[in-house]
């Protein structure tokens, strides 16, 4: 009985993986980015529901959103490298390939996570200097027309 390698030589069929196997394990960064985004959402919910100061929650949200962007950007870069490599190998063999919708969805998700990371980072770092007065017209500053 012939083995698969011997049978492949007999019929002239040769199968070589078109993808770089070691790099596909890096694609686990997509679920990592999703998990970090979920943790950021969980830290954002108390900030939206309660009006108290939650200083450390702002920092945690900024940290989680920045880490989610970095994971998403890393996964997108690896995805683009893998697909470009595979597409080139397919073109050499005479097959056609093009970018599908998953590449563009990943690009949109990476762009949105960048916007969120920048917004949360700037809001956390600069929020103490550029705060609006609280709602209801009550200012923490002393009223100059009030009598002591």
Number of neighbours of residue 54 by Cβ within 10 angstroms: 15
Residue 48 has a CB neighbour count (10 Å cut-off) of 7
C-beta of residue 75 within 8 angstroms of C-beta of residue 26 = yes
| CA end-to-end span of the chain | 103
* Packing angle of the helix pair 29-49, 101-126 (nearest 10 deg): 40
Q: Does residue 5 register a pLDDT over 90?
A: no
pTM of the model: 0.69
Q: Which residue reads 């880490």 in tokens?
A: 67
Token pair of 13 as six digits: 């069929």
User: Of 37, 63, 58, which is closest to residue 46 (Cα–Cα)?
Assistant: 58
Model pLDDT, residue 109: 94
pLDDT at 133 over 60: no
Both tokens assigned to 39: 């943790």
pLDDT digits (tens, 9 = 90+) for 91-116: 887 888 888 898 999 999 999 999 99
Q: What is the mean pLDDT of the chain?
A: 78
Is residue 69 within 8 A of residue 117, CB to CB? The reply is: yes
Identify which has the larger pLDDT, 127 or 45: 45
| Helices within the chain (DSSP H only) | 4-11, 21-24, 29-49, 55-93, 101-126
User: What pLDDT is attached to residue 95?
Assistant: 80
Where exactly are the structural domains of the chain? 20-126
User: What pLDDT, on a 0 to 100 scale, did the predictor assign at position 64?
Assistant: 93
pLDDT (average), residues 131-145: 55
DSSP-derived letter for residue 19 is: S
Q: Which of 43-52, 103-112, 124-133 has the lowest mean pLDDT?
A: 124-133
pLDDT band of residue 129 (cuts 50, 70, 90) is: very low
């Amino acid at each position: 009985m012939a083995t698969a390698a011997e049978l492949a030589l007999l019929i002239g069929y040769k199968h070589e993986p078109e993808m770089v196997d070691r790099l596909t394990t890096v694609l686990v960064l997509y679920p990592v980015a999703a998990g970090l985004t979920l943790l950021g959402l969980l830290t954002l919910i108390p900030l939206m529901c309660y009006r108290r100061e939650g200083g450390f929650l702002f920092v945690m949200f900024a940290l989680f959103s920045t880490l989610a962007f970095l994971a998403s950007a890393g996964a997108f870069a690896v995805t683009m490298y893998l697909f470009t490599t595979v597409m080139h190998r397919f073109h050499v063999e005479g097959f056609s390939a093009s970018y599908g919708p998953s590449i563009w969805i990943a690009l949109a998700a990476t762009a949105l996570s960048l916007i969120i990371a920048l917004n949360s980072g700037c809001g956390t770092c600069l929020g103490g200097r550029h705060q609006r007065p609280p709602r209801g017209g009550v200012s923490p500053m002393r009223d100059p027309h009030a009598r002591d």
